[in-house]
Amino acid sequence: MNHPDTILILDFGSQYTQLIARRVREQKVYCEIHPFNQAVKAIENLKPKAIILSGSPFSVYQEGSPLPDLSIFEHNLPILGICYGMQVLAHLFGGKVDPAAKREFGKAIISIKNPDSGFLSGLPASFQVWMSHGDHLTAPPTGFTPIAQTTNAPFVIIEDPVRKWYGVQFHPEVVHTEFGADLIKNFLFNVAGCQPTWTPESFIQTKIAEIRKQVGQDQVILGLSGGVDSTVAAVLVHEAIGDQLNCIFVDHGLLRKNEAQEVEDTIRNKYHIKLKVIKAHDLFFNGLAGVTDPEKKRKIIGKLFVDVFDTEAKKVEGARWLGQGTLYPDVIESVSFKGPSVTIKSHHNVGGLPEKMNLKLLEPFRELFKDEVRVIGAQLGVPDYIVQRHPFPGPGLAIRIISDVTPEKVRLLQDVDHIFISELKRQGFYKDVWQAFAVLLPIQSVGVMGDERTYENTVVLRAVTSVDGMTADWAKLDYDFLGFVSNRIINEVKGVNRVAYDISSKPPATIEWE
């Protein structure tokens, strides 16, 4: 996809590189992340308007530290070096980088020396920033002057207004840096001269044209999962090619209560998209009968899914493409922390189906983060209850039943989960958590209901906050809210007499229980 104003972010292995991309895109400017050692190719392909050099766990003076090809500095492009990125500029262009005598990690207050710089436009005389590196500059690179400092570090922001090169010692992309978004905005618009043209409308229009050109008269198959990404992908691809899109929805019976029906209604009735729903409950329950091992459950579900999908997909004549809701974090090539070698993250595809069926991949969201897909979905009129839906694992409720899976257990868990989720929504907490769900334990315990002794099931409620699912914290939900939900569950779901709340973070726990 070609964008008039693209920012190239060169990744040197910082844990914050994706955040830089988020901050740039929030300004309606398109950007891509590429490993530092593929900079030459990236410049050739993207024709960027400016370059941002990311941070890194390395020190520039360390043997084998990641350094870009020098030719990238010969294109007269504006550059913003962030932390290690700034140290790269100093190291290569006549400055000096040393381990700081007094290390500044975490919060620091900076004072501005040159308020007239366009890079600092609209910022107060001093504000708080977030530092995360042991090194700092003891001499700026040639042609640069310092425009902000701290008490310990004289070169916290440096500029070369002639070349339009800038360096910041801290991380403007993290929320702990006050006015970080303003600094990025100033770089994009005041320094690099970008226009804020990358909007949801422009994305949709450009993608529709691109999909039409790519696909031509071919048929496209798209597997719906009930989640945000595949549903929004279906709607977008349908806008582009109408009835050449064939959606297949394998309902394995392990989804949340009502979810299968909601997806079917939206896709079929609201958008009139061709949809084949395969109700395969019995097949999956039979396959899972008696299985307790989590990995075995996943393998069985994965294999059955591929078998069913494959059989259905083969019935679509003229199919050349497999549409998928793959997101940007799945395809970014990341720089490894151990050394400047490049690893490629594996793509989420339907178990090798494209190769097996000789299909080409159509992935309209390869360039987007999940939040951006939500915005596109809202723009395309996809209902809020789908667009804002929490992530849900492919193997579904099977990995939230900590024992063998039966239809009765699934029904019980669906009812418990439904009460939890609908109360989160009704009381306004749903959007505050990344994911919330219930787990059915293989444990009975003693309780009392009326005058009767009970001996029934325990369910665990889990709600976590997270930005990407990689790390997570348990959500500090209100006690009264939890008490209310617990009462409803025990009163309304037969077979449950005890509710617990999971207060483990990830790591060391994981989000799911299996």
Least distance CB 442 / ligand XMP (angstroms): 19
Question: How far is C-alpha 265 from the geometric centre of its chain's CA atoms?
Answer: 27
Cα(260)–Cα(270) distance, integer angstroms:
15
Q: In the complex with ligand XMP, which residue's Cβ is closer, 111 or 510?
A: 510
Polymer length in residues for the chain: 514
Q: Give whole-number Cα distances, 159 to 67, 156, 164, in Å.
A: 20, 10, 7
Helix, strand, coil tally for the chain in percent (to 5): 35, 25, 40
Residue with tokens 């989590």: 294
Q: In the complex with ligand XMP, which residue's Cβ is closer, 104 or 502?
A: 502
Closest CA relative to residue 332, chosen from 292, 369, 285, 278: 369
Least distance CB 325 / ligand XMP (angstroms): 11
Pairing of strands 452-465, 342-344: unpaired
Least distance CB 76 / ligand XMP (angstroms): 43
* Catalytic-role residue among 32, 173, 262, 312: 173
Q: In the complex with ligand XMP, which residue's Cβ is closer, 298 or 488?
A: 298
User: Which helix (H) or strand (E) is 360 found in, with range?
Assistant: strand 360-362
In the residue annotation, 176 being an active-site residue is answered as no
In the residue annotation, 173 being an active-site residue is answered as yes
Would you call 88 helix, strand, or coil by DSSP? helix
Cα(168)–Cα(309) distance, integer angstroms:
51
**DSSP label at 120?**
G
Q: In the complex with ligand XMP, which residue's Cβ is closer, 159 or 363?
A: 363
Cα(162)–Cα(295) distance, integer angstroms:
59
| Binding stretches for ligand XMP (CB under 6 A) | 298, 391, 393-395, 435, 469, 506, 510-512
- Angle of CA points 217, 221, 225, to nearest 5°: 150
**Inter-axis angle of helices 407-426 and 479-492, to 10 degrees?**
140
* Catalytic-role residue among 171, 252, 390, 418: 171
Least distance CB 89 / ligand XMP (angstroms): 37
Least distance CB 290 / ligand XMP (angstroms): 20
Q: In the complex with ligand XMP, which residue's Cβ is closer, 349 or 454?
A: 349
* Catalytic-role residue among 83, 91, 133, 159: 83
Hey, which residues does 361 pair with through a beta bridge?
A: 322
Closest CA relative to residue 90, chosen from 120, 113, 59: 59
Q: In the complex with ligand XMP, which residue's Cβ is closer, 404 or 512?
A: 512
Alpha-carbon torsion 141, 146, 147, 151, what sign? positive
Q: Rg for the chain (alpha carbons), in Å?
A: 26
Least distance CB 212 / ligand XMP (angstroms): 30
H-only helix segments in 253-369: 259-264, 281-288, 294-314, 328-331, 353-357
In the residue annotation, 34 being an active-site residue is answered as no
What six digits make up the tokens of 465? 């906050």
What six digits make up the tokens of 391? 């992530």
Q: In the complex with ligand XMP, which residue's Cβ is closer, 325 or 395?
A: 395
Pairing of strands 452-465, 473-474: antiparallel
Q: In the complex with ligand XMP, which residue's Cβ is closer, 295 or 492?
A: 295
**DSSP label at 47?**
-
Least distance CB 512 / ligand XMP (angstroms): 3
What six digits make up the tokens of 66? 């990641």
Least distance CB 459 / ligand XMP (angstroms): 17
Give catalytic residues, as residue numbers: 83, 171, 173
